[in-house]
Chain A
């Protein structure tokens, strides 16, 4: 079984991301694999182990994307491809590029994604890739898909609980935290990953000409500072504090 996992490199979740002089910056916070993508890698590795086959890491980005690739390889993926994509790509462009790359890899049975990247917070790329490939999409898969005779069954997380769906491969999946913790890279994996040669494909290699993004960000701002004066509630006993706090809450008229 040929599995592709799509990953993205993002600033660490602990980063203080701010706008300075019109530029987005996260200071010296490290770039890491998008945390959701670790679940996508985990799912891909479990599927490869169960059904045989190998996992290819796919990313679009400049050279700095190597940390995300390395992490996925160190977790156990066999090989990786990086696409030198346009820097101004929106989700429409990204999805077309990834779809073309998946076709170029060839004979792919299954593609896994993290539910969203924590920088753009779009959460739409997996579904868009599915449409460009004409494959079914299982967004927000909450279990490792079961596969028998080319038919896949998976539980998807929805507002109401879980939707149990089945469909045929090839297919696209996106994952969140429900499938359990992703594995840590092993020492051997890290050594192997640091030596791995990652081929770079250009849009030309994919047979794509310049792709114009549809969505642009004319302005990025720091969120308005909240003028908050914190009022510390004190009292003689928990009951006394609770009475005072309850009055304050009622006075806010939010209930």
Chain B
């Protein structure tokens, strides 16, 4: 076994996800501790420039698999190549960002190598030459220290948990081209096309999140348009006016819009916005909860946010227990006023 730490650079259409560089950062820290180097794995087609960027962020060496069969991420093709490289190179550990692709690829690679996998870790340390990770379990209600007795040790790193490294354009390293293992005929899947999401800031990457809950529908002074006669539809219409205000504040702060499960289940906003145990687990620098009572499932998904602000009519709402700042009031009054106040301060 070499002391090398490998790190997988997740990219989409030639652009690396920010979490990839966080993983390079974590790999660098481990390598300094263990005395080995950092090898970054860059797979795709036309992704040579990512190899240089990975070096600038802290990699010493790049294994570059640039091939038409790797143009689209397909787990089967990527895992076959990665597992072969790992069984030859014998790294001490392979780090992946916990992106949708990173998590799947880590799992597949671990299965191919018959080794353990430790997903979504928030801290890494070295004890007696082995890497011990900390990972939230039960949606962060508990923390577990985990260790694998098999090599390479495979981890995926929670997004935003490891910090982004500084870009150092004077760093140099070697780039080694490697072959893709499977031919097109041997790959069992084909990507037909991509459907883009509605855009906006992704929840897991966001440094600011403004979230809405059940309270968004609670504004009796709003009158729905006359063509909406169904009571449920009227409720959804009201909630959407609340989410409009929340969206405006999120825009001002350069953040993303989140929601509680109650709001999603009531049909106020699509599931992709849900924060919590059965939604996304987030840890932004600023989390503003508007009209969210703070059920345990929701708290599990956002309690590690740096600064939490709660705006709720009910002074007894559990959300206030985790909040740094609280406003007992109506989100329909406070959110637009806060938007104006923040605009002034941010020069927008």
Instruction: Return the contact of A164 from the options B100, B191, B306 (Cβ within 8 A).
Output: B191
> How far, in Å, is B15 (CB) from chain A's closest CB?
9
Given contact pairs A17-B141, A128-B111, A164 touches B341 in the complex (Cβ within 8 A):
no
Contact A121 B139 (CB under 8 A): yes
Contact partners of B145 in chain A: CB under 8 A: 217-221
Q: Are B110 and A118 in contact (CB under 8 A)?
A: no
Which A residues, 108 to 164, have Cβ-Cβ distances below 8 Å to chain B? 118-128, 130-132, 135-140, 153, 155-164
Residues of B within 8 A of A223 (CB): 136, 140-143, 303
Whether A220 contacts B137 in the complex (CB less than 8 A), given A137-B108, A167-B189, comes out as yes
Distance in angstroms between the alpha carbons of A122 and B103 in the assembled complex: 9
Q: Which residues of B contact A123 (CB under 8 A)?
A: 103, 107, 119-120
Cross-interface CB contact of A231 among B112, B192, B324, cutoff 8 Å: B324
Question: Contacts of A120 on B, CB cut-off 8 Å?
Answer: 137
Chain B residues near A92 (CB, 8 Å)? 110-111, 114-117
Roughly how many angstroms separate A230 CA and B306 CA in the complex, as a whole number? Answer: 13
Binds B, one of A55-63, A71-79, A194-202, A242-250: A242-250
Flag B84-108 by CB within 8 Å of A: 1 or 0 each: 0000000000000001110110111
The one of B108, B297, B310 that contacts A131, using a Cβ cutoff of 8 Å: B108
Chain B residue numbers with a CB within 8 Å of A140 are 100
Given that A246-B341, A254-B306 are contacting pairs, would A124 and B141 also be in contact in the complex, using a CB cutoff of 8 Å? no
Contacts A92-B111, A137-B76 given; does A242 touch B142 at CB 8 Å: no
Which of A219, A234, A238: most chain B CB closer than 10 A?
A238
A137 and B309 in contact, given A161-B197, A230-B326 (Cβ under 8 angstroms): no
Complex Cα distance A167/B338, Å? 50
Chain B, interface size: which category? 35 or more
B138 touches A14 (CB 8 A): no
Within 8 A of B (CB), among A160-218: 160-168, 176-178, 212-218
The answer to whether the Cβ of A24 comes within 8 Å of any Cβ in the partner chain is yes
Residues of A within 8 A of B309 (CB): 245, 249
Distance in angstroms from A78 CB to nearest chain B CB is 27
In the complex, are the beta carbons of A95 and B111 less than 8 A apart? yes
Report A23-57 CB contacts with B as 1/0, cut-off 8 Å: 01000000000011000000000000000000000
Contacts of A126 in B (CB 8 A): 107
User: B337, A242: Cβ atoms under 8 Å?
Assistant: yes
Does A119 contact B138, Cβ atoms closer than 8 Å?
yes
Residues of B within 8 A of A132 (CB): 111
A172 to B278, CA, bound (A): 21
A131 with B142: CB separation less than 8 A? no
Is the beta-carbon distance between B337 and A35 smaller than 8 angstroms?
no
Is A18 part of the binding interface, using a Cβ–Cβ cutoff of 8 Å? yes
Q: Which residues of B contact A212 (CB under 8 A)?
A: 149
Tell which of B194, B272, B345 touches A163, judged by Cβ atoms closer than 8 Å.
B194
Residues of B within 8 A of A160 (CB): 12, 194, 196-197
Q: What is the distance, in angstroms, from A67's C-beta to the closest C-beta of chain B?
A: 18
In angstroms, Cα B279 to Cα A126, docked, is 19
CA distance A234 to B272 in the complex (A): 34
Which of B226-234, B240-248, B327-335 is found at the contact surface with chain A? B327-335
**Docked pose: A119 CA to B150 CA in angstroms:** 23
Residue B75 at the A interface, CB < 8 A? Answer: yes
1/0 contact trace for B270-308 toward A, CB 8 Å? 011010011100000110000000011100000100110
Is the CB–CB distance between A254 and B141 below 8 Å?
Answer: no
Across chains A and B, the number of contacting residue pairs, with CB separation under 8 Å, is 268
- Chain A residues near B345 (CB-CB < 8 A): 246, 250
Closest to B136 in A: A121
* Residue A232 at the chain B interface, CB threshold 8 Å: yes
Neighbouring A residues of B223 by C-beta, 8 Å: none
Whole-angstrom distance between the Cβ of A252 and the nearest chain B Cβ: 5
Q: Which of B172-229 touch A at CB < 8 Å? A: 188-197, 202, 204, 207-208
Are A241 and B337 also in contact (CB < 8 A) when A128-B107, A217-B145 are?
A: yes
Do residues A136 and B76 form an inter-chain contact, with CB atoms below 8 A?
yes
Q: Take A17-B138, A162-B197 as given contacts and tell me if A136 and B119 are in contact as well, using a CB distance cutoff of 8 Å.
A: no
Given contacts A178-B271, A216-B147, A242-B340, contact A255 B103 (CB under 8 A): no
Partner of B146, one of A19, A156, A216, A233: A216
Known: A119-B138, A242-B338, A254-B286. A16 touches B296 (CB 8 A): yes
> Do A241 and B306 form a contact, CB below 8 Å, given A215-B116, A255-B253?
no
**Does B53 touch A at the CB level, under 8 Å?**
no
Q: Chain B residue with minimal CB distance to A242?
A: B337
Q: Give min CB distance, B79 to chain A, whole Å.
A: 7
A142 to B159, CA, bound (A): 22
- For A19, the closest partner residue in chain B by CB is B142
Which A residues are in CB contact (< 8 Å) with B263? Answer: none
**Interchain CB contact under 8 A, A168 and B188:** yes
B190 pairs with A166, CB closer than 8 A: yes
| Interchain nearest-CB distance for A254 vs B (Å) | 4
Contact A217 B144 (CB under 8 A): yes
15 interchain pairs, CB-CB under 8 A: A17-B141, A90-B116, A122-B119, A123-B107, A128-B110, A128-B111, A137-B75, A165-B191, A165-B192, A166-B192, A168-B188, A178-B272, A232-B320, A242-B341, A246-B342
The 6 A-B residue pairs with the shortest CB-CB distance, nearest first, are: A214-B116, A124-B107, A242-B337, A131-B111, A246-B341, A127-B107
